[in-house]
Structure 1
Amino acid sequence: MDPEPPRTTDALGAATSIPGSTVPQLQNEDSEAVVPTALQVDRKVGYAVPTTGGGRDQPADGSGAWERQKLFEDNRGVPEAIKEYAKVQPHPRMNIISRATFGWLSAMVKLGYTRNAEGSNLEPTDLWEVQTGLQSTNVSARFQTLWEEEKHRPKPSVSRALWRLIRRDCLISVFFEMLKLVGSFVNPMVIREIIVYVQNRETDVNKGIVLIFLLWVGAILVGFGKSHSMHLVMNAGAKVKCAINNAAYDKALLLSNAARQRKTVGEIVNIMSADADKIYQNFFSFNSAWSSPAQLVVALYLLYLQVENATWTGVGSLLLSFVALAFIFIRIARLERLRLKFSDIRVKLMNEMVQGVKIIKFMGWEDPILQAVQGARDAELPYVRGIAYTKAVMVAFVLGTSIFSGFVTFATYISIYPLRGLDPANVFTAVALLNLLRWPLMSVPQFVAAVASSRISLDRFQKLLEEDENVPIEAGDSAGVAAGQPMVAIRGGTFAWDRERTQEEREKIRDDKVAKADKLDKEASAALKGSSVSGAEAAAKKQDEAKTLRKEAEDVMLPWAPTLKGVDLDIKRGEFVIIIGKVGSGKSSLLSAILGEMETITGSVSRWGSLSYVAQTPWIRNETVKHNILFGRQYDADRYKIAVNAACLGPDIAQLPAGSETEIGERGVNLSGGQKARIQLARAIYCASDVYIMDDPLSAVDTHVSARLMEGCLCGVLSNTTRVLVTHQVQYLSRADRVVVMEEGRVADVGTPGEIMTRRDMTALAQHKGKEEEEPVEGGE
């Protein structure tokens, strides 16, 4: 039985299966990296992924050679090494005492101590399996379910979905936080009784023992409650961080083309890193939301019992401090919002720099790029510095407030009750209670600041989740598809790179944007009435935003012309279909429509079985040649050899310093364009899919190599699969079962090679050969 498909990893045009992103790479007995594979190709952009589902029947006529039979007979799922990994060190069974004392950690601590004494370290296999409730796959699946339910509400809230994900942990942590609170108030009151006991020179030893015991119990309650409360809150924070990371990653792969224009890579990376980590860190203040006010109230009440009406002067000084702190929090939130804006710009620049490092070095643009990045960082730093200074002022203010409050309280007490004096029991108890006030005074503002920054991060995350996404194509099971029946079927298909909206939808969006722009103009006018510089700056900013909204409102009303129109096409099982046409005629767009990459305006696309996509621009990992071909699948020597030979990579690999173990540089920098294209093709062959979608892979290789690929690969090893090839090399049309001619986004003609050559002028098509190549052919292919 095949395992459940794991999470996806963005392959950016890779023709391969995609390993699970939540499972680490391990080594099998052959020292090959293995990761779970198998992913249904039902969504995502520009990459293709085979799946273990679908099952392919072998031809009954025996025409498939041994190589083809060997290649397709074992489409493996999760390797046994992965299944055994979780069993290496099962999570220890915890009884109630072990849970209460965290004694279950003792074995790991002891093992670490022993390893350190031996001069070695803990290994990954020493670690325990993550508990089911904390496993990334389970957490993400649960959050996706909750978010889907939330989307059906009138006003969806990602905060509510996340709360439902973690509320059990949070509510249990509240109980332990209450134990901590009880313990924290036991100590001051017991200290008072001990002082009274000593002052009165009591001789009852048992009473003294009981008081000391209660002092010990209070300390135990504080430690016990704090440890378990923090443990549960950290687990809840980890779940939220995991859910945000995986949901943002999955959403990035599903974004529609229009949404990708609105959401930059830098913004998405910031959500997955800075925002998710910030929310996780802010979870440490979760229980401060209620425990700090409660501790503050109880401490003030007990303080009143000690110093009576003098307490209210202390309360008054605290209230004044809260007013001042409110302004500090507002400033922190405003600075944080501005910092994130410039942080997005900086991350975007860094991403562009890394992706284009070759051209930057080639053109000698290091200094301008460095200046651009430095400029973005310089624009961000004032806000970072401002936040740090403001927080430092806040901490100093809070610490000073508690000291000042104590001084005011005792001074007032002496003034109101000059004849009473200060009793030692009251003084020590009051000092202890004033110390208890220090933490609430610090944590309440921290919690408010955490809520403000988390609110901003959650709003950014929710806006990402609410972006439009491509509608996935559900692939059917290929087992029931007989020879001659379609594996890919397009019925009356009209496709565009952006969704075509109705006139009513466009008018509504336009009206909303105009209304927002009008509101901003009014706010700007109001701000200009003041004479302050900050008011003028705010007005200018609002006017710019209004201008942008009005331009967007105009753009919304522009009609989007579909890229593909009226497409009706069947691609039958085992058929070899070649798609030809001039540059810009819609050949690559047709492949994107089959992959589910384009918006379907009318009609439908149906698909059966697993699929691999060979992109026009190869996607190469910074890994060895072998791992670029395996791409997470389990190594099979015979199967690997077949894929390498079919892709004509044997001589190239033999010339490499370490053969298949030679590491390929970033984005294949040490390979020619033809070598990268053939590694991608070998990867697709190794995947053993039902359907192969290939976007002109022959254009990157020499003529004699392309002839060998056509003979040994497309018409050889893959001859029993369904193949769709885009090409300008019309000399290979005779090898196809059918030829599709594209013109101006339409299927202009479909027929056998002989019929197409009779009806069409091949000379015009041949003149366009090679114009769509992404990289020049390099010699020696």
Structure 2
Amino acid sequence: MEQATPYLLASAAACQGQGGGDLTLELGSLCFSQMMLIDLVNLLLSAIYVSSLLIAACKREFRAVRAGDLPFPCAVASPCCAFLGIACVCLGLGAWGSSPHGAPLFFLRGFVWVSLSVSLVVRPTRLSGAVAMAWWAVDAVLITANCLEKIATRANLGVLDVVSWVVALLLLLSATRVCRRLAGAAAGDGGGAESEPLLAAGGGERRAAFDEAGFFSRLTFTWMDSLLRLGYSKPLGLGDIPLLDADDAAAEACRKFLCEWHRRRRESNKTSNLVLRVLAECHKKELLLTALYTLLRTLSFAASPVMLYCFVSYSNRQEQERDLGTRAALVAGLLAMKLVESLSQRHWFFGSRRLGMRMRSALMAAVFEKQLRLSSEGRGRHSSGEIANYIAVDAYRLGEFPYWLHLAWSMPVQLVLAIALLFWIVGAGALPALAPMAICGVLNVPFARMLQQYQWRFMQAQDERQRATAEVLHSMKIVKLQSWEDKFRATVQRLRDAEVRWLGETQLKKAYGSALYWVSPTVISAVVLAGTAAVQSAPLDASVVFTVLATMRVVSEPMRMLPEVMSVMIQVKVSLDRIGKFLIEDEFQDDAVDRTPASDKSLDMHNGVFSWEPSKGTATLKDINITATRGQKIAVCGPVGAGKSSLLCATLGEIPRMWP
């Protein structure tokens, strides 16, 4: 050839024709005559594979391989083939004007690679599976032989050749793995589908798919595909839902929490932030893992302006300064960065929600068990409405705590990285931007303090309203008989007005903080560009301006989220304090009732003294003597307020015993 297309991936001397009139096309450092054989074979096999798919579609057997059944080499090779096919199509588009003979061949190879990618996933029948495996093996052998021949003749191998060779080896490995799996399944089934019973045995339980999933399945969340596919085909029933993992069960989460709680209560009398320290000790491994995902997401997101700067700088170069290696490195770096950002963010969300579910379940169960053993004095300090709020509001709020906890430290890190990036781009021109950032930070302090105070008062008003409502509903018969509806309606409405007032103050302070931090990125970007123009620390060309604007996107997220993060953390702190105060309340005396199962007496009490308020020294029941044998019937009679209910509570051990 007289002139090589600029999209070729090897030198023109790799495959020259023997004569000046010979037709040789240099495509990725492979001769036309050699590659034509591979292209024809691939085209023939792809036509056979597509025909098998059409036959399967006519028979209504068209389906993809389930994600759980997809071998790992196939899962890796399929996207690689797709990317390689897209790259060939892009090279063909680029070579369309300069090499009209080479562009169609690039399109042909792009179609072949995309078809190979589909064949790794879609194998509906035995025929299509056999054709696909034969295609993978033949393609791998041909490409490997061609590359080995060029290495032996010391011809140049282009980037496309090397990548194709690696993907071909993955195809060969995929064919081997699928063949071995089919052979093992045939040996285990003893004949395949023909030997399957017409009526499958019922009663089998669906196990937790997450535990049985492999690395790739967990990485891409394909372990959910079977459940989603089943839900698409029919309405899901309770038997279709997989079982929970053992660590996700409420009983296991509560057991771990209570074990650590009792251990810390025995070792130390410190009650400050006790619930938080117990939760951190129980779930420290999960917290560290989600923190790693958060860090990866923060670093990859903060590096986006750097990639933009590199792309714009590369586009501003002269034509002779642009090389294929830099181009490929930029594209590969962008793909890798976005892949890491996407996967780390998804696993951060999933891990945080899963960890929050465990914390929420543990606290709900712990509060419920504490309520069953709460002493009489504790019941006086915590009404049933307040305890309901501990479960429905405070414990439920802890479900979002891990997500906001990682935001609380990752947002400042992201802000620091963005500031460092600004100094790297514009130098001293970024110094004026520190002033509005500092002003926003200083203004946030009084907002946070007022928000904490209003949030605490709102929670108190909510508890009072819940307590009054519960008392009215509990005594509704008396209220109706005495015609006290208007009086109690006014009382509940007054408490509700107070609750709404504190709720309005809380939301108003949140609005002030949000408005401040929504405006700040625009102000900061204007100050940065003005400072750069004044100091002349960097040229205001396209690469600098676009990178500064992209960096403002990195800055805007912490600015927007920090007020909300502080608000949520304040609410979590209030909820943790309320739950901790409830969990350290006194319980029933373990020695209030001595149980002797082997005794003939069902109840034996001598000179018993009991009090609902033992701290005041006032006895509710004195000199109680009761003896009851098994099967004996006893009636307790007396006027209202004589202590009949207290006597029953004393026999159950629910009243503190003062004597004996």
TM-score by length of 2: 0.64
Tell me how far 1:581 sits from its aligned partner: 6.0
CA drift of 1:211 comes to 0.8
1:184 aligns with 2:242: no
For residue 621 of structure 2, the aligned residue among 548, 559, 563 is 563
Residue deviations 1:92-113 (CA, integer Å, cap 9, x gap): 1211111111111111211222
Q: Give the aligned partner of residue 509 of structure 2.
A: 390
1:445 corresponds to 2:445: no
2:642 aligned with 1:578: no
- Identity among equivalent positions (%) equals 23
| Alpha-carbon separation, structure 2, partners of 1:87 and 1:265 | 42
Q: Provide the residue aligned with 1:216 in structure 2.
A: 335
Which residue pairs with 1:300 in the alignment?
419
Aligned to 2:574: 456
> Retained in 2: the 8 A contact 1:180–1:226?
yes
The amino acid across from 2:335 in the alignment is: W
Contact 2:404-2:569 within 8 A present in 1 as well: no
User: Structure 1 pair 475/371, CA: closer, same or farther in 2 (3 Å)?
Assistant: same
- Quote the residue 1:204 is aligned against: 323
Measured after TM superposition, the shift of residue 344 of structure 1 is 1.0
Alignment map for 1:27-426 (pairs within 5 Å): 88-92=205-209, 93-115=212-234, 121-152=235-266, 153-156=268-271, 157-200=274-317, 201=319, 202-417=321-536, 421-426=539-544
Contact 1:564/1:589 (<8 A) preserved = no
| Post-superposition offset of 1:577 | 4.9
Paired amino acid for 2:311? I
TM-aligned CA deviation for residue 571 of structure 1 = 3.9
CA–CA separation in structure 2 for the residues paired with 1:459 and 1:182 = 34
> How much does 1:485 deviate?
3.0
Map of 2:601 onto structure 1: 486
Structure 1 residues 576 and 324, CA, compared in 2 at 3 Å: closer, same or farther?
same
From the superposition, tell whether residues 368 and 577 of structure 1 become closer, same or farther in structure 2 (CA, over 3 Å).
closer
Cα offset for 1:173?
Answer: 0.3
Q: Mind listing any 5+ residue stretches in structure 2 that lack a counterpart?
A: 1-201
Alpha-carbon shift at residue 404 of structure 1 (Å)? 0.5
Displacement of 1:579 in angstroms is 5.2
Q: State the 1:305 CA deviation.
A: 0.9
Which residue number in structure 2 is paired with residue 430 of structure 1? 548
Shift of 1:364: 4.5
Distance 1:342 1:108 in 2: 44
Distance change (3 Å), C-alpha of 1:296 and 1:582: closer
Aligned 8 A contact 1:192 1:425 in 2: yes
**Inter-CA distance 86–385: structure 2 relative to 1 (3 Å threshold):** farther
Corresponding residue for 1:497?
612
Does 2:651 correspond to 1:594? yes
The 8 Å contact of residues 432 and 531 in structure 2, kept in 1 or not, is answered as yes
CA distance in 2, matches of 1:145, 1:87: 34
Relative contact order higher in (CA < 8 Å, ≥ 6 apart): 1
Deviation at 1:227, TM superposition (A): 1.0
Q: Aligned equivalents of 1:562 and 1:415: distance in 2?
A: 83
Counterparts of 1:252 and 1:284, CA distance in 2 = 29
* RMSD, aligned CA: 2.6
Q: 8 Å contact 2:429–2:536 — kept in the other structure?
A: no
Conserved 8 A contact 2:405-2:569 = no
The answer on whether the counterparts of 1:173 and 1:233 sit within 8 Å (CA) in structure 2 is yes
- Paired with 1:86 and 1:378, the residues of 2 have a C-alpha distance of 55
Aligned counterparts, 1:743-754, within 5 A = none
Report how far residue 139 of structure 1 moved: 0.9
Secondary structure (helix, strand or coil) at the match of 1:276 reads helix
Asked if the contact 2:287/2:402 (under 8 Å) is kept, the reply is no
2:148 aligned partner: none
* Separation of aligned partners in 1, 2:551 and 2:534: 21
Give the whole-Å Cα distance in 1 for the aligned partners of 2:500 and 2:618: 41
Equivalent position of 1:69 in the other structure: none
Instruction: Say if 1:307 and 1:426, in contact at 8 Å, map to a contact too.
Output: yes
Native 8 Å contact 2:360 2:396 kept in 1: yes
Cα separation, partners in 2 of 1:227 and 1:491, compared to 1, 3 Å: farther
Give CA deviations for 1:378-416 in whole Å, capped at 9, x if unaligned: 111122112222212211210111111111111011001
Aligned counterparts of 2:480 and 2:366: Cα–Cα separation in 1: 36
Which string of whole-angstrom CA distances, capped at 9 and with x for unpartnered residues, describes residues 271-294 of structure 1?
A: 212222333334321112221121
Give, in whole Å, the separation in 2 of the partners of 1:360 and 1:150: 46
1:468 to 570, 575, 586: 586
Distance 1:366 1:124, change over 3 A: farther
Does the 8 Å contact 1:564/1:586 carry over to 2? no
Aligned partner of residue 380 in structure 2, secondary structure: helix
Q: Which has the larger share of helix? A: 2
Opposite residue 104 of structure 1, the aligned amino acid is W
Structure 2 CA distance for partners of 1:486 and 1:362, relative to 1, 3 Å: closer
Aligned residues of 1:402 and 1:441 also touching (Cα < 8 A) = yes
Aligned-pair CA distance for 1:123: 1.9
Structure 1 residues 190 and 86, CA gap change in structure 2 (3 angstroms): farther
Contact 2:415 2:555 in 1 (8 A): yes
Q: Residues 110 and 358 (structure 1 numbering): CA distance in 2 closer, same or farther, change over 3 Å?
A: farther
Mapped contact 2:254–2:366 kept (Cα < 8 A) = yes
Distance 1:87 1:386, change over 3 A: farther
What amino acid maps onto 2:443 in structure 1?
A
TM-aligned CA distance change 1:477 to 1:208, over 3 Å: farther
Report the TM-score when normalising by structure 1: 0.55
Alignment partners' CA distance in 2, 1:179 and 1:86: 44
Contact 1:139 1:243 in 2 (8 A): yes
Structure 1: gaps spanning 5 or more residues: 1-84, 116-120, 502-557, 604-781
Cα separation, 1, equivalents of 2:567 and 2:637: 60
- Does the CA contact (< 8 Å) of 1:579 and 1:587 recur in 2? no
Q: Distance in 2 between matches of 1:318 and 1:422?
A: 22
CA contact (8 A) 1:183 1:217 kept: no
Give the SS at the match of 1:576: coil
> Which is higher, the Rg of structure 1 or of structure 2?
2
Task: Name the CA distance, whole Å, in 2 between partners of 1:167 and 1:86.
Answer: 38
3-state DSSP of counterpart to 2:659? strand
Deviation of residue 122 (structure 1)? 2.0
Structure 2 CA distance, aligned partners of 1:378 and 1:86?
55
Deviation string 1:470-528 (CA, Å, 9 cap, x unpaired) is: 124688684xx3xx7334444664322233x4xxxxxxxxxxxxxxxxxxxxxxxxxxx
Following the alignment from structure 1 to structure 2, what is the Cα–Cα distance between the partners of residues 176 and 367? Answer: 57
| Letter matched to residue 155 of structure 1 | K
Q: Could you list the per-position Cα deviations for residues 98-157 of structure 1 after superposition, in whole angstroms to 9, with x for gaps in the alignment?
A: 111111111121122222xxxxx3222221111111111111111111111121213131
Identify the range of structure 1 (243-252 vs 276-285) with the bigger mean alpha-carbon deviation. Answer: 276-285
Give the letter aligned to residue 254 of structure 1. R
SS in 1 for 2:550: helix
